[in-house]
Amino acid sequence: MILHSHIIGKGVPFVILHGFLGSGDNWKSLGNNFAENGYEVHLVDQRNHGRSFHNEEFSYELLVEDLKVYCEHYELENFILLGHSMGGKTAMLFAVTYPNKVAKLIVADIGPKAYPEHHQALLEALYLLDFTKLKTRIQADEFLSEYIKDIGIRQFLLKNLYWKNKEELGWRFNLDVLIRKIEEVGKALPAGSYFGKDTLFLRGDKSEYILKTDEILIKIHFPKAKVYDIANAGHWLHSENPVEFAHFVVNFL
């Protein structure tokens, strides 16, 4: 099966991968920005996310193979690859697995190291939400607010709501599988992985996902990597400071 995507613009192919519980729609504004700079932007939904297919299996190896099938379908060669968070992990593994397909790599606020699982409380709140009782987005937001205090995170999650039918809301992501396979999300890039082309790592200056000490490991896997901070931004750096994020990306390209 081919991953769902939204394709904008014409020019050099530029593939963007969203983070955990996100979708390509999260990148529409920046996608339009990049398209205006002469790129054919592919906003891809990874498996079990967005409008892409649901599957009982979930791992970075499978996400990489999904992307390979997608690129073969659209005849994408020598393309730019950008990934945020979980999407950044997919992008890194794709680049080291298929280096001849990637011209330049951009990774947003995630490193190649392993990360401890930290989504349990959020996933539990989503699991407790009962769509047989909650019939509007406002009701869903009110319920989630008891468990997730950050309104920005709630709004990000609620973008995944859709009408399964005239009577029932549902999540576009495959919540059951993502809960069951959550340990996959934090896995490290395999030892010995190497990508020798131009690479850009961007981190939010308020985020702790990429520490100064992590730059040593980044350079081992990606010797041509440059690491820059996005001001006044946390983990969602591309939405918290999109102007500076776009500036760094366009200059790098």
Question: Digits of tens for pLDDT over the chain (253 positions)?
Answer: 999 999 999 999 999 999 999 999 999 999 999 999 999 999 999 999 999 999 999 999 999 999 999 999 999 999 999 999 999 999 999 999 999 999 999 999 999 999 998 888 889 999 999 998 888 899 999 999 999 998 888 999 999 999 988 888 999 999 999 999 999 999 999 999 999 999 999 999 999 999 999 999 999 999 999 999 999 999 999 999 999 999 999 999 9
Do the Cβ atoms of 174 and 75 come closer than 8 Å?
no
Which listed residue (49, 84, 235, 238) is catalytic? Answer: 235
Measured at the alpha carbon of residue 105, what is the angle toward residues 235 and 218, in degrees to the nearest 5?
Answer: 65
What pLDDT shows up at residue 234? 94
Q: What is the reported pLDDT for 117? A: 87
Q: What angle do CA 251, 188, 157 make, to 5 degrees?
A: 70
pLDDT at 120: 85
- For the stretch 75-103, what's the b/e string if a residue is b when 16 or more beta carbons lie within 10 angstroms of its beta carbon? ebeebbbbbbbbbbbbbbbbbbbbeebbb
85 part of the active site: yes
Report angle CA 12, 14, 17 to the nearest 5 degrees: 175
45 is catalytic: no
The β-bridge relationship of strands 5-8 and 199-204 is unpaired
In the residue annotation, 52 being an active-site residue is answered as no
Catalytic site residue from 29, 150, 176, 205:
176
Structure-block tokens of residue 213: 């000490």
For each of the domains in the chain, give its residue range(s) and CATH number, in order of start. Answer: 5-115+187-252 (3.40.50.1820), 120-180 (no CATH)
* Active-site residue, from 85, 109, 207, 221: 85
Q: Output the six-digit token pair for 153.
A: 């995170």
Note the pTM of the prediction, 2 decimals. 0.96
